[in-house]
Chain A
Amino acid sequence: ETGVTQTPRHLVMGMTNKKSLKCEQHLGHNAMYWYKQSAKKPLELMFVYNFKEQTENNSVPSRFSPECPNSSHLFLHLHTLQPEDSALYLCASSQDRTGVAFFGQGTRLTVV
């Protein structure tokens, strides 16, 4: 248990569906991250939030929409995804800019 919880663990969705990934951290951290992990590729940083403010949007397509209602919760809203979006989506949190991040177990997303 890392203190970062992601739900659901697995998700299969069609290209026309709308779904959301949820991340919750109980560590009192002020920064939260979404990463995409695909086979044989580096972890791709998608979004960074610091104190609920988005500080980084790493050229992510608009079909991915993040939401950070408070410093403990982070969502990733998904709509009209493509099969190449199938991957493991990881949430992480950290305190300030230390880079010491705590990761969730991830959501395994399959787009059919």
Chain B
Amino acid sequence: AQSVSQHNHHVILSEAASLELGCNYSYGGTVNLFWYVQYPGQHLQLLLKYFSGDPLVKGIKGFEAEFIKSKFSFNLRKPSVQWSDTAEYFCAVILNDYKLSFGAGTTVTVRA
């Protein structure tokens, strides 16, 4: 069975600091990878996705993620966070079926 591991449960940082959230998955075959975000009081929404091609993908709001196949990782980064980036971030994978599986999530708190 596939699984998704997120290394940090809660990250607290100041505005303008850099952010990196770790994500590892356990499946060895072809996967599609995602980061979803849930802002306070809002629905879960897609931040960025990787299907194939360039392993460095750009998402909305200045986020990017890098797929490293050899490490089974898909880490999320943002060079300079803003207060509005306070949210919960979820890594997810899907195989060649319909099972979109999520990690436990990382709560990011950005202090002004």
Q: Residues of A at under 8 Å CB distance from B?
A: 2, 4, 31, 33, 35, 40-43, 45, 48, 50, 55-56, 58, 90, 92, 94, 97-106
Are B46 and A101 in contact, with the CB atoms below 8 A? Answer: yes
Q: Residues of B at under 8 Å CB distance from A?
A: 4, 9, 32, 34, 36, 42-46, 49, 90, 92-94, 96-105
Residue among B100, B101, B103 having the largest count of chain A Cβ atoms under 10 Å? B100
Are A45 and B104 in contact, with the CB atoms below 8 A? Answer: no
Number of A-B contacts (CB under 8 A): 64
Q: A42-B4, A99-B34, A99-B92 are in contact. Are A94 and B100 (CB under 8 A)?
A: yes
Residue among B34, B45, B99 having the largest count of chain A Cβ atoms under 10 Å? B99
Are B49 and A99 in contact, with the CB atoms below 8 A? Answer: yes
Are A45 and B99 in contact, with the CB atoms below 8 A? Answer: yes
